[in-house]
Each structure stands twice: as structure tokens, then as C-alpha cells.
Amino acid sequence: MASTLQKSVANRIIVLRNTPAVLATPNYTSGDLIGGKQELLNAVEEQEGAGIIRGVSIADAANQKLQIDAVFFNADPSNTAFTENAVLAVHANDLDKIIGAVVVGTYFAFNANAFGQPSGEVRIPFILGGGTSLFLAMISRGAHNLAAVTDLDVRVAIERF
């Protein structure tokens, strides 16, 4: 699923938003991929551009409040099979494309939903290996019981250079 872009007037700070297609059944278990391979379009303005990931947040309409690992790649991890709701095994040829990971595990609960973010500062510098997109894989670290295919909404804040 492709992302949408919000940007500052100077276009230096942007927020990429993505609602990954998830499965309502069966439940996710620890280690399962959530939302497939996600392409974050226009992370930078120029081919092989650079930036810093400054924030990651997840709106959780299912109110699950479970830890999710967000793993970022600087190029398409095309050698890895991204099977939804199955354990993610990153291919050896794609390991060098990983630029960092963030644990989203601090949740603010509301009546029927929640909002999650990392407990500390996020600072993941990157230079893209080609193109203008970052790639994201979300990994469940617990039993997620999502009720609808649009239950998760991911936002990634990037400072562009």
C-alpha cells in the first residue's frame, strides 16, 4: 500500500502516512508480519537522497495496545518474501538494506482505540540506495486480534536533507 505525504512549508520536515492492509483473521502472533512490505513514497525529493527518521506512531483502531517493531529499509528488500500474518525472515541479501528499527510500545488508550509511539527519541539517519522511497516492515510482538483491515494507521516523520 502506498503512503500519503504531509509536509512543512519549507518541505524539510514531512510526515508520511500509511494505512496498511491487515487481516482481521486469523489473529497475529509474535513475530508475524503486519501489513506486508510497505513503501513510503517520497521520503526524499531526489534519487538516493538522505534524511533522518524522527518519529513513528501508530493509531490503533482495534485498541490492541501491543508492541510492534517497525523495521526500515533504505532500498526495496526484494529478496525477502513478505507474507502477511506469517513470521518474517529477512533474506541475507537484504540485511544491509536495514537502516534501523523502532519499538512502538508506549500506548495512550482511549475508550475504543489507542495511539502508540516509541518511549524515547527516534533518530535513524539514512541515505537511500536508489529512488525516493523508504520501505517498512511491521512485526507483531504479541497476539493481535485486529477487527478490520484498516485498524492500523502508521505515521513516519522524516527530516529531509
Residue 50 exposed, middle or buried by CB count within 10 Å (0-12, 13-18, 19+): middle
Q: What is the pLDDT of residues 108-127, one digit of tens each?
A: 999 999 999 999 999 999 99
C-alpha to C-alpha distance for 36 and 108, rounded to whole angstroms = 25
Provide mean pLDDT across the span 152-160.
95
| pLDDT over threshold 70, residue 67 | yes
Provide mean pLDDT across the span 18-31.
90
Domain count, the chain: 1
Q: How far from 16 is each of 3, 23, 93, 133, 143, CA to CA, in Å?
A: 6, 22, 27, 11, 26
Range of the domain at 45: 4-160
- Quick one: what percent of the chain has pLDDT higher than 70? 93
pLDDT score at 144: 86
Q: What is the pLDDT of residues 132-142, one digit of tens each?
A: 999 999 999 99
Block residue for cell numbers 517520497:
42
Rounded to 5, what percent of the chain is helix, strand, coil?
5, 45, 50
User: What CATH number corresponds to the domain at position 25?
Assistant: 2.60.120
